[in-house]
Amino acid sequence: MSNSPEVLIHPSACVDPGCTIGSGTRIWHFSHVMAGASIGRDCTIGQNVFVAAGAKIGNHVKIQNNVSVYDGVELEDEVFCGPSCVFTNVKNPRSEVSRRHEFLATRIRRGASLGANSTVICGADLGRYSLVGAGAVVGGQHPDYALLIGVPARQVGWVSRHGHRLQARDGGGNLLCPESRFRYLENPGGTLTCLDHPEDQPLP
């Protein structure tokens, strides 16, 4: 294991030699991090979490209890995984047929949030600051700030960087976050852009 002395690992957790864990990260009860896994700094890995050898977890990621992050899953910085959310890595699994060479990559981009008990089908690419509702089943590619709910999940609107559904507008027609008052521009191609803060920068 390659990590900083500032990493907190609960005595009941199993952290294999050969993984990488950034400073300030906390790994709680009964979790297992396999050799080869990469976890960034200042993450919270909750109780009974499994992180596979091929998983990549960025900085400031929060993974709640009972989540398995399998090979091929990448969680960028600031991602939130709610309790018992599910990732898959094979679309047509069979116990008697080995498909380890068919694992599909799944990417959850910066700042996205996955609600409790949601399921992310392998191959999905969820945009920055998107929000998947509790219990939703989501696959495919979705834009930044998308609000995704249902089974199967569909986009029903937009959410702000601060996690609020965007409905109110200013005088120029831009969507307004009720908390931060950041303005969001709806683009002709079906995407959203924050006018007041860069998408790739931490909040002030």
pLDDT of residue 3: 55
Between CA 186 and CA 66 the distance in angstroms is 36
The number of beta carbons lying within 10 Å of the beta carbon of residue 191 is 14
pLDDT value of residue 2: 53
CB-CB neighbours of 100 under 10 Å:
8
pLDDT beyond 60 at 1: no
Give this prediction's pTM: 0.95
E strand or H helix that includes residue 108: strand 106-108
Q: Which tokens is 99 given?
A: 């498909």
β-bridge partners, 108? 75, 126
Average pLDDT score over residue span 146-159: 98
pLDDT > 70: what percent of the chain?
98
* 158 φ/ψ angles, rounded to the nearest 5 degrees: -125, 150
Say if residue 185's pLDDT is above 90. Answer: yes
Dig out the tokens for 183 from the structure. Answer: 């303005």
Other beta carbons less than 10 A from residue 63's beta carbon:
28
Query: Where in 7-104 does DSSP place strands (E)?
Result: 8-9, 14-15, 20-21, 26-27, 32-33, 38-39, 44-45, 50-51, 56-57, 62-63, 68-69, 73-75, 80-81, 86-87
Helices (H), 97-164: none
pLDDT tens-digit readout, 81-106: 999 999 999 999 999 999 988 899 99
CB-count exposure of residue 90 (10 Å: 0-12, 13-18, 19+): middle
Report which DSSP code applies to 39.
Answer: E
- Tens-digit pLDDT profile for residues 39-86: 999 999 999 999 999 999 999 999 999 999 999 999 999 999 999 999
pLDDT at 126: 98
* DSSP 8-state assignment for residue 24: T
HSE value, Cβ hemisphere, 13 Å, CA-based, for 120? 37
